A and B are shown apart, each in its own frame.
Chain A
């Protein structure tokens, strides 16, 4: 996973709540291998009326926002399904940070695994940023993960919160399996005790 340190890029306003994972990555595209890439399916049915035919109004289809790497969204972004393809399609498109009032829970958990930074911000601030971004299309914002600051479209800076476990994984590009395998001994001990407490749960061979 690519480490996330400092990101400066064009920010695009996405003025709608409940952008669910079916809108981010429609179900019919979900079975392709990871290495084939998911850039083309991001927001597919919001971006395209037919293959290759764009809706001109959709924000990422407007010339000033095509290269966006930051999305300023609204309430409940990424709700719905567990599909990690929603994260992959954003990251493959080039978006490394989404700022919203709240996020779908599984999307939140998945994001860090793809190197996508999610930031929570209150609705009034978000609405203000989106207005500024629309007024000056192509404006950039900067995210400094280590310092935990965002430079707003008007250039001033605000702090943001991030959980320590997420920050460490993103900054260093760590992956969970590597982290967990360091705890092999503790896992084995806990597993043995768990087995002793719940013997009926183990070796449940298929009857018949």
Chain B
């Protein structure tokens, strides 16, 4: 057989048939959240059943409160309805559901890997664009819209055209202070917000291999911010050790069979990729975004670029508009930018290792601006508390909250006010993402903690490095 990429192997394993240039693919695992209501309403309208309740796993995240676990703390009735409807659909259709108050609740992209639901070789979908996160374990995982959610609920399949394969190779040892978040921001700055359009990205190279699964999750999470359909890392010993013993991971003889399958998944040595990109990690710095697209990322030591250097009129106008929206001037040092608040959370950067890195900085001072921490899952919250991270954050003046999407998207009411500037560990700096007319600067958890202590964007390398 011709050499195949990881992507091709998973695709072939899930393809049922081809018609009109599209593949009908079996869905190995479907994840849901409080936005899944529309899919179920379609099932009901058409008198269809949930085809595979044992392949659907859901937890509310977008609209849940972070001040408490009481739905009464969500003031928006529509958001509350989303969470309640998921609960009702769980009762009716019998899928696995980690509800509000269950210690396994959390942001769906944190929960899947944490519970061992996400596994190598799976075709995994979810009605959310950051489903790309799960590719860190060697799954082919992509976000789908509401009609496709309904389609998967009804048929456990999805139609897709075969994507192209892109390999992004990152080599070298990361300098101190450069995290997985900085690596992915550097990648997006290089290839652009649609640089991976129509491609599935496979991340390779020594830098990626040396990363923990949690770091790989951060990288794959933002694949969609580079326009990629999905992002993935080939499974290796790190992946297998991560999964061993997790609640939904295979056990006993099943485990051995699964591992044997996973070992065969990595791209064959001679497999051909449609597009290749290479980056040198040794030259990377902590990154910060200045505009309204994740591609607007620059090293923290840089200055805000000038619209005059733009390649086209449209680009110049867009840069001007972004600077205007962000209240910034060309040529301004990134490090001089004063911030109003800090958010540490989201499916990009709210796992235990992220909180440890942020706490290691937070313990070196006191927050000068309001700062909040929302763990990626209730399990992460519990583990962080067992380690005393909550105490470190509280003593440094940070607010310690419950788990959910929170201020990443603001649907639960955790918002950045108009005109306010937020240093955020999330993944999108779009206009209005954290609230109407809010201003977002994306960065790593350690950089966000450093920004909190100084009240301005700060180079984390000015602080002592090391574990909390």
Chain A interfacial positions (CB closer than 8 Å to B): 15-18, 20, 22-23, 26-28, 30-34, 45, 74-76, 79-85, 87, 102-106, 109-110, 113-114, 123, 127, 163-165, 168, 175-177, 179-181, 183, 186-187, 190-191, 194, 197-208
- Asked if A31 and B254 make an inter-chain contact with CB atoms under 8 angstroms apart, the answer reads no
* Residues B12-44 near A (CB distance < 8 A): 13-14, 16-17, 19-22, 24, 26, 28-29, 35, 37-38, 41-42
| B171 touches A (CB below 8 Å) | no
Q: How far is the CB of B256 from chain A (nearest CB, A)?
A: 10
Q: Can you list the 8 inter-chain pairs with the closest CB atoms, starting with the nearest? A: A110-B145, A31-B78, A200-B250, A84-B145, A165-B20, A113-B147, A200-B254, A76-B194
Give the chain A neighbours of B82 by CB distance below 8 A.
Answer: 31
Known A18-B293, A82-B128; 13 more pairs at CB < 8 Å? A23-B431, A31-B63, A45-B431, A87-B145, A105-B227, A165-B159, A177-B155, A194-B14, A197-B261, A200-B254, A201-B28, A202-B55, A204-B54
- Asked if A177 and B78 make an inter-chain contact with CB atoms under 8 angstroms apart, the answer reads no
Q: How far is the CB of A199 from chain B (nearest CB, A)?
A: 7
Q: Which of these binds chain A: B297-305, B312-320, B340-348, B442-450?
A: B312-320
B214-258 vs A, Cβ < 8 Å mask (1 yes, 0 no): 000000000010011100000000000000000110100011011
- Asked if B248 and A30 make an inter-chain contact with CB atoms under 8 angstroms apart, the answer reads no
- Asked if A17 and B318 make an inter-chain contact with CB atoms under 8 angstroms apart, the answer reads yes
Closest B residue to A130 using CB positions: B314
Partner of B193, one of A15, A18, A32, A83: A18
Once the chains are docked, how many angstroms separate the CA of A20 from the CA of B430? 7
Give the chain A neighbours of B391 by CB distance below 8 A.
Answer: none
Give the chain A neighbours of B78 by CB distance below 8 A.
Answer: 31-32
Once the chains are docked, how many angstroms separate the CA of A206 from the CA of B247? 8
Partner of B257, one of A30, A80, A200: A200
Q: How far is the CB of B32 from chain A (nearest CB, A)?
A: 12
B425-450 vs A, Cβ < 8 Å mask (1 yes, 0 no): 00010111100110000000000000
Partner of B428, one of A80, A87, A190, A191: A80
Q: A23-B432, A45-B432, A205-B54 are in contact. Are A83 and B145 (CB under 8 A)?
A: yes
Q: A26-B432, A76-B193 are in contact. Are A197 and B24 (CB under 8 A)?
A: no
Q: How far is the CB of A163 from chain B (nearest CB, A)?
A: 6
The size bracket of the interface on B is 35 or more
- Asked if B54 and A84 make an inter-chain contact with CB atoms under 8 angstroms apart, the answer reads no
Q: How far is the CB of B140 from chain A (nearest CB, A)?
A: 14
- Asked if A31 and B432 make an inter-chain contact with CB atoms under 8 angstroms apart, the answer reads no
- Asked if A165 and B19 make an inter-chain contact with CB atoms under 8 angstroms apart, the answer reads yes
Give the chain A neighbours of B198 by CB distance below 8 A.
Answer: 105
Once the chains are docked, how many angstroms separate the CA of A190 from the CA of B155? 12
- Asked if A202 and B16 make an inter-chain contact with CB atoms under 8 angstroms apart, the answer reads no
Q: A105-B229, A180-B159 are in contact. Are A28 and B145 (CB under 8 A)?
A: no
Residue among B82, B127, B129, B436 with the most chain A CB within 10 A? B129
Closest A residue to B77 using CB positions: A31
Give the chain B neighbours of A84 by CB distance below 8 A.
Answer: 38, 145-147
- Asked if B436 and A106 make an inter-chain contact with CB atoms under 8 angstroms apart, the answer reads no
Closest A residue to B155 using CB positions: A180
Once the chains are docked, how many angstroms separate the CA of A201 from the CA of B251? 11
Give the chain A neighbours of B72 by CB distance below 8 A.
Answer: none
- Asked if B314 and A28 make an inter-chain contact with CB atoms under 8 angstroms apart, the answer reads no
Q: How far is the CB of B85 from chain A (nearest CB, A)?
A: 9
What are 22 of the A-B contact pairs (CB < 8 Å)? A16-B314, A17-B318, A20-B428, A45-B431, A82-B127, A102-B227, A113-B145, A163-B21, A163-B161, A165-B20, A176-B147, A177-B46, A180-B155, A183-B16, A186-B16, A187-B24, A190-B17, A191-B26, A197-B13, A197-B261, A200-B250, A201-B29
